[in-house]
Amino acid sequence: MALSRSIIAQAPSLRDWEFYHAKPAKQWDYIFSIYDDFMMERSIEAFRWEYVLLEYPDDSLELKIVASNINFLDGEAKKAAVDLALTNIVGEECKVNYLKKVSIVEEFDDEYSGMGAPIRELKEHFDEILAEWAEQE
């Protein structure tokens, strides 16, 4: 991220262009396409996913995601799909800096039962935690 920031700081100022050091979060419909193992383009409805976000004392976060509608993908493709969705939701910089671990699970363990929330709430939840951490500094 530091190198990206340095490069972008040197970027020229151009009309109708915006440069970013990392992919920003975006407003989107939580639907994207990905290619399956047979190179067929498949639509993924990420809005159907649920998550549990765990906060640690070292200012890192762990994310557990139930995304049963991507079970047709192999393990690496599942990770890529979740990574793409998370970049769109929280932005690349927040994903890299704060998400210590991301797990794709079939269902939440009993200890997290009832804690799952719709993935559309993740950005707001994430921002609330970062705001709390900023206040503590």
How high is the pLDDT of residue 8?
Answer: 66
| Overall pTM > 0.75 | yes
d(CA 18, CA 16): 7
Q: What is the pLDDT of residues 52-85, one digit of tens each?
A: 999 998 888 999 999 999 998 888 889 999 999 9
d(CA 2, CA 6): 6
How high is the pLDDT of residue 127?
Answer: 93
Q: What is the phi/psi pair of residue 104, to 5°?
A: -100, 120
d(CA 92, CA 22): 6
Average pLDDT, the chain: 89
Domain spans in the chain, listed from the N-terminal domain onward: 25-136
Is a pLDDT exceeding 80 seen at residue 5? no
Q: What is the pLDDT of residues 99-116, one digit of tens each?
A: 999 999 999 999 998 899
Q: What is the phi/psi pair of residue 76, to 5°?
A: -65, -40
